[in-house]
Structure 1
Amino acid sequence: MKLVRLIANLGYGSRKQVALMFREGRITDLAGDVLYADDQRDHADIRVDGEPLDPAPGICLMLNKPTGVTCSTRDVGRVVYDLLPARFRARDPVLSTVGRLDRDTSGLLLMTDDGALLHRIISPKSRVAKVYQARLAADLRGDEAALFASGTLMLEAEKTPLLPAELEVLDARQVRLTLHEGRYHQVRRMFAALGNHVEALHRISVGGLALAGLEHGCWRILGCREIEGIFATQGSP
C-alpha cells in the first residue's frame, strides 16, 4: 500500500492533505530523514511530526468510559470518540465500539476496527462474561440471586427468558453481577423487574480482561495476549 493511502486511512487527513504533509517534510523515518510518497518503509519506521505512526488496522483498545459519554459517533453531548485522538474517528476501516454502554453507565468499553474480532466478542457462542458493579436505590429483598440464576426471569417486551446470571452481594445496596448475554439495558431492567432501581452502574471486566487501574476517561491499545485473554474466562450459559 502506498504511504499516502496508508497514512490517510489512519485518519491523519484526506489523501490530498497527506500528500501535502509529505511535501512539507512532516513524514520522516526513524532516523529523521524525510520520506516521499512512493517510498517503502515498515510501519514501525514511519514518523508523523516526529511521532510514531498510529497502529495499523486490526487494533483493539480498552477505554474506561465515564458517565455522561455516549457510545455514538454523533450526539448532542460528549461521545466516546471525544476521548480519543481526533484522527481515530476517521480511520478506515472504522473504529467501532464492541457493544455499548449507555450514557449513565461507566467502565470497561472495548473498541476495534477488526470486524471479525468484534463479532467474536459479542457472539453468544463465545460466552464472554461481562461483570458489572451496581449501586441500588433500595435494599435487596433477598431472593435476587436465586431469581437471576434460575434462567426463568422474563423482561418486559422480551419473548425469551434471560440466561442464568450470577449475583454477588457486597452489601444491602451494592452488588456485582455477571452476565453471559447483552440485552438492551439488561442490568437496569433486571432490577426494575424486581421493583428496584439502579442508581449507578460500572462495568469492571469483559471476559478475562479487567480495567486494571485504568483511570476514568483514559484508554490504551491492547496487545495480542490481552485480546486473547478476553476469551480465557468464558461463562456457562
Structure 2
Amino acid sequence: MKKVPTSRVDKLLGSMGYGSRTEIARLGKVGGIVLDGADLTDVSKRIPVTPDLPSRMEIDGEPLDPVPGLVILLNKPLGMTCSHKEDGALVYDVLPERWRRRDPAVSTIGRLDKQTSGLLLLTDDGDLLHRVISPKKHVAKVYRATLARPLVGTEGPLFEQGGLVLEGEDKPLAPAHLEVLSPTEARLTVTEGRYHMVRRMFAAVGNHVEALHRERLGGLTLRDDLPPGEWRLLDQAEIDAIFGGS
C-alpha cells in the first residue's frame, strides 16, 4: 500500500501559494482555515495530504485548491507562450493567480510554440513530467497540420521509414505516421519532442505548415467541449491513459 504523505498545515498552504507561514498562522487564528467542519487554529499540525483534502478543507470559505500532484489539460489557443517569463500572453495566465506561487511550480509538460494550438498538459509533479517527455516512454503526439502546398505522396513513406535528418541535426528521426486528410491537410503522429519538429519535418520535404493543432497525447484526446483557453483537471484514470494509449 502506498504511504500517504503528511505535511504541516502552514507548510502545505505556503507551498500552494496561500501566503507566508506568518500569514497562514494569522488566518488560522481568525477561523479562516476549516478542516472537516472544525476551525483549525494550530497550523503547525501535521495532516495527511490526500486527494480528497479539497473536499474537506476550506480556506476563507472557499474549497482548498488541488493538492500537489495536480495535472491540468489546457486547450491552448494561438498566441500564448509556454513560458514563465516571456513578454505577452502566457499559458499560465489562464490559471488561478495563486497557482503561479506554488512550490513545486506548475510547468508545462513539453511545449507548444506560440503559433500551435491544442492539447497541452501542465503539472507540479516533476516525476510525471519527465516520464511523459522521456524518449524511452514513446508517448505518441498527434498533430493536425494545414500546409501551404499540396502533398506529393512521398511524405508518408519517408516519415514512416524513419531516418530523416532535420537541418542542423545529426541524429535521424524515429518513424512517424502520416495520415492524409486532404491535399493540404494531414495528421502526423510522432513519438519525439524535438524543437519545432513537425514544422521542420514538412520543411524538409519542401512544404510549409500554415496551421498546427495538437489533437492527442498518448491516450488523451482533446474533446470538443473544451474551448480554446479553457482547462480542466485530470483524474488518475486520465493520467494513466497518457501512457496506456502510446
Fold match, TM over 0.5? yes
Q: Which residue of 2 aligns with 1:27?
A: 33
Q: Which residue of 2 aligns with 1:143?
A: 154
Pairwise CA distance, 1:142: 1.7
Q: Is the aligned partner of 1:10 residue 2:16?
A: yes
Pairwise CA distance, 1:177: 0.4
State how far apart, in whole Å, the 2-side matches of 1:25 and 1:78 are. Answer: 37
Q: Which residue of 2 aligns with 1:75?
A: 86
Q: Is the 8 A contact 2:8 2:47 kept in 1?
A: no
Q: Which residue of 2 aligns with 1:193?
A: 204
Pairwise CA distance, 1:160: 1.3
Aligned residues: 233
Pairwise CA distance, 1:194: 1.2
State how far apart, in whole Å, the 2-side matches of 1:153 and 1:124 are. Answer: 17
Question: What is the DSSP-based 3-state SS (H/G/I as helix, E as strand, rest coil) of the residue aligned with 2:201?
Answer: helix
Q: In terms of mean alpha carbon deviation, does 164-173 or 6-15 score higher?
A: 6-15
Which residue, 41, 58, 68 being the options, matches 1:47?
A: 58
Pairwise CA distance, 1:221: 1.2
Correspondences of 1:110-189 after superposition (within 5 Å): 110-189=121-200
Q: Is the aligned partner of 1:225 residue 2:237?
A: yes
State how far apart, in whole Å, the 2-side matches of 1:129 and 1:74 are. Answer: 28
Q: Is the aligned partner of 1:203 residue 2:214?
A: yes
Q: Any stretches of 5+ residues in structure 1 without a counterpart?
A: none
Root-mean-square deviation (CA), in Å? 1.5
User: Which amino acid counterpart does residue 8 of structure 1 have in structure 2?
Assistant: G
Identity of aligned residues (%): 54
State how far apart, in whole Å, the 2-side matches of 1:128 and 1:143 are. Answer: 25
Pairwise CA distance, 1:41: 5.5
User: Which amino acid counterpart does residue 232 of structure 1 have in structure 2?
Assistant: G
User: Which amino acid counterpart does residue 144 of structure 2 have in structure 1?
Assistant: Q
TM-score (normalised: structure 2): 0.90
